[in-house]
């Protein structure tokens, strides 16, 4: 049974959520600067690293970026040797984006080691049930954000 959330609790939650979101952006921007990347390129590289390979079109659909913006992104990351382009044997016009995981980890891991340790220490202070609740919130909130972004991206293409 769900309880009605009082306005003060809702406002405190929104404030904490907004601060978390803002701090996340600021932190990733700082990491990106230290790594010699833009904040956006850093985050898109993180997405690319989740795949063994993907096409520019698939990356465009995942991110909502135009194909031109994806080409620029790929150019910048390829120049830094963080990914490579590879033509397919069946269709030479089709280009796969293949992340260079080793180079990417070498560049980014130093910035995340301490963060991961501190995060794991924080997580260890929660019960299993609390972690499941937090995980459910992030999963469902992420779905809402994806739905919103997809809707906005589709509207701009209309």
Residues forming beta bridges with residue 83, ordered by sequence position? 99
Per DSSP, helices labelled H in the chain are: 7-35, 39-48, 56-63, 67-79, 101-123, 128-156
Task: Say what the pTM is.
Answer: 0.80
149's tokens: 């972004």
> What b/e readout covers 76-85, taking b as 16+ CB neighbours within 10 angstroms?
bbeebebbee
Q: Can you give the pLDDT at residue 91?
A: 77
At 21, is the pLDDT very low, low, confident or very high (cuts 50, 70, 90)? Answer: very high
At 156, is the pLDDT very low, low, confident or very high (cuts 50, 70, 90)? Answer: low
Residue 5 predicted with pLDDT over 90: no
Task: Give the DSSP letter of residue 50.
Answer: T
* 7-125 CATH: 1.10.10.10
């Amino acid at each position: 049974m769900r309880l009605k959330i009082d306005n003060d609790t809702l406002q405190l939650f929104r404030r904490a959520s907004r601060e978390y979101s803002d701090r996340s952006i600021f932190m990733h921007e700082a990491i990106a600067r230290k790594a010699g990347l833009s904040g956006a390129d850093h985050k898109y590289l993180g997405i690319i690293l989740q795949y063994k390979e993907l096409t520019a079109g698939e990356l465009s659909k995942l991110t909502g970026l135009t194909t031109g913006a994806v080409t620029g992104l790929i150019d910048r990351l390829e120049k830094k040797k963080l990914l490579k382009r590879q033509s397919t044997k069946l269709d030479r016009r089709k280009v796969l984006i293949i992340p260079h995981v080793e180079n990417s980890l070498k560049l980014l891991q130093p910035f995340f080691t301490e963060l991961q340790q501190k995060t794991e220490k924080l997580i260890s202070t929660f019960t299993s049930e609390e972690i499941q609740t937090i995980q459910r919130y992030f999963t469902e909130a992420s779905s809402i954000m994806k739905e919103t972004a997809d809707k906005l991206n589709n509207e701009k293409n209309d």
